Amino acid sequence: MLELALKGTKRYYGWMTFLVVIIGIGFLIYLKQLDFGLGITGMSRDVSWGFYIANFTFLVGVAAGGVMVVLPYYLHDYKAFGRVTILGEFLAIASVVMCLLFIIVDLGQPMRIFNVWIYPTFHSVLFWDTIVLNGYLFLNLIIGWNVLEAERNNVHYQAWLKPLIYLSIPWAVSIHTVTAYLFCGLPGRGFWLTAILAPRFLASAFAAGPSLLILLCLIIRRVTNFDPGREQIQSLAKIVAYAICINVFFFLCEVFVVFYSNIPEHMDHLKYLFVGLHGKTAYVPWMWASFSLMAVGIILTVTPITRKNEGVLAVACTVIFLGTWIDKGLGMIAGGFTPSPLHHVNEYIPTLPEIVIALAVWATGFFILTVLFKIAVGVKEEVQ
């Protein structure tokens, strides 16, 4: 099926060239990072994880969000999603690849990465994260590819795929749960030390993932002869509406517990993010923007008139995607490290090289996503 990705319009090749250029620039800067060390980033002794791990965390969510089309189709026999399940699975593949790349660019000694498997350490959550992420990648590759090929050949997919498909559903939940456990099991990090973290991660995942999928469906409809379908997009929009409401609700639960209990160790991080601490306020406008965007997203997706208008829905999905990205991709990591365990406020600001490397990882993900979607849409156009 790969040949379907080789034949394309000028616009397709233009887009791919654009991505390759970004990947190339990012790769050169990554070589610089390999040579100099992670000191070219804005990370420090106090804020020892930054933009890379934040984007990793966000993208684990996007990957897990793919299950929101797989589950209704295979478990509830919601036939309409049959048209878009492959898109969800392929989005998951691209996202997990980005996650793995973000982990690699974040390592101080990337050439030693296989130490994680040479010395498997069961009490380390990071070990389990590598297992669930790689497992999810392979599950989606095997399932997506075989189901699509069966569709192309006009036959039913192989019977042995069924158990794997069922397995992929809880597995999607596991990737984001384990990723939350990376953070919420650490003593002395008051911001993350909350049982709501994994559920909150999942809620924001099920908002961000399907939002991106809706946007991608709208683009596919515009640039190809395949229409993912109005009903499909509307159903996804309802999923987004529920998920973003639950995400904000979970956040408010956290705010209540933190401020009503009045425990400084837990309050200081939220204060730092939303009003600033010790005069340091870099994240304040971002966090308010994030929650304003999510609020707008809630209004637009919950209200039937706006949700049913696909133009408005596209805006809603964009603001939800951006809002959840700022929340998880900026605030979640920096906020957890500030103030530091010794209660110093050293702000983390990503540097330009760091941002370019991150952009290149995103570009790699979108390159893979475009190839996979090109194939999927090519097959759909063939069988139509």
Partner 1 sequence: MDSSRRRVLQLFGISSLALMTRPVYNALATEKHAQKAKEQMIRGDKALTAKQWAMVIDTRQFESAEDMEPLIEACNKIHNIPHFENQRHEIKWLWEDHYHNVFPGKGARFLSEAVESRPFLVLCNHCENPPCVRACPTQATFKRASDGIVLMDFHRCIGCRFCMAACPFGARSFNWRDPRPFIKETDPKFPTRTKGVVEKCNFCAERLAEGKLPACVEAAEGKLAFGDLYDPDSEVRELIKTNYTIRRKQELGTEPCVYYIV
Q: What b/e readout covers 82-98, taking b as 16+ CB neighbours within 10 angstroms?
A: bbbbbbbbbbbbbbbbb
303: alpha, beta or left? (left if phi > 0; alpha if psi -120 to 50): beta
Question: What value does the CA radius of gyration of the chain take, rounded to a whole number of Å?
Answer: 21
Alpha-carbon 163 to chain mean position = 25
**Residues sharing a CB contact under 8 Å with residue 124, sequence separation 6 or more, in sequence order:** none
Determine the size of the site formed for partner 1 (CB under 8 A): 47
Round to whole Å and give the CA distance between 372 and 137.
14
Among 23, 26, 49, 212, binds partner 1 (CB under 8 A): 49
Residue 31, number of CB atoms within 10 A of its CB: 10
Among 14, 24, 110, 304, binds partner 1 (CB under 8 A): 110
Question: Mask 111-140, x = binds partner 1 (CB under 8 A)?
Answer: -xx-xx-xx-x-xxxxx--x----------
189 binds partner 1 (CB under 8 A): yes
Among 101, 182, 216, 368, binds partner 1 (CB under 8 A): 182
Six-digit token pair at 290? 């994030």
**Could you tell me the smallest distance in angstroms from the CB atom of residue 338 to partner 1?**
12
Round to whole Å and give the CA distance between 342 and 359.
33
- If the CB atoms of residues 281 and 340 are measured against partner 1, the closer one turns out to be 340
Q: Which 193-252 residues touch partner 1, going by CB under 8 A?
A: none
Q: Which 321-340 residues touch partner 1, going by CB under 8 A?
A: 336-337, 340
Residue 5, number of CB atoms within 10 A of its CB: 17
Question: Mask 265-294, x = binds partner 1 (CB under 8 A)?
Answer: x-----------------------------
- If the CB atoms of residues 24 and 264 are measured against partner 1, the closer one turns out to be 264
Among 8, 12, 16, 46, binds partner 1 (CB under 8 A): 46
User: 184-189 long-range CB contacts below 8 Å, 24 or more apart?
Assistant: 185/125, 188/341, 189/336, 189/337, 189/341
Alpha-carbon 364 to chain mean position = 14
Question: Mask 79-108, x = binds partner 1 (CB under 8 A)?
Answer: ------------------------x--xxx
Among 2, 6, 163, 188, binds partner 1 (CB under 8 A): 188
Residue 363, number of CB atoms within 10 A of its CB: 20
**Could you tell me the smallest distance in angstroms from the CB atom of residue 176 to partner 1?**
18
- The stretch near partner 1 (CB under 8 A) out of 9-17, 109-117, 135-143, 203-211 is 109-117
With beta carbons less than 8 A apart as the criterion, state whether 308 and 255 touch.
no
- The stretch near partner 1 (CB under 8 A) out of 55-63, 89-97, 133-141, 178-186 is 178-186
What is the 3 state secondary structure string of 238-277? HHHHHHHHHHHHHHHHHHHHHHHHCCHHHHHHHHHHHCCE
Among 30, 58, 102, 183, binds partner 1 (CB under 8 A): 183
**Residues sharing a CB contact under 8 Å with residue 257, sequence separation 6 or more, in sequence order:** 194, 266
**Could you tell me the smallest distance in angstroms from the CB atom of residue 343 to partner 1?**
4
Q: Which residues of this protein are in contact with partner 1, per CB under 8 A?
A: 36-39, 41-46, 48-49, 103, 106-110, 112-113, 115-116, 118-119, 121, 123-127, 130, 182-183, 186-189, 264-265, 336-337, 340-344, 346
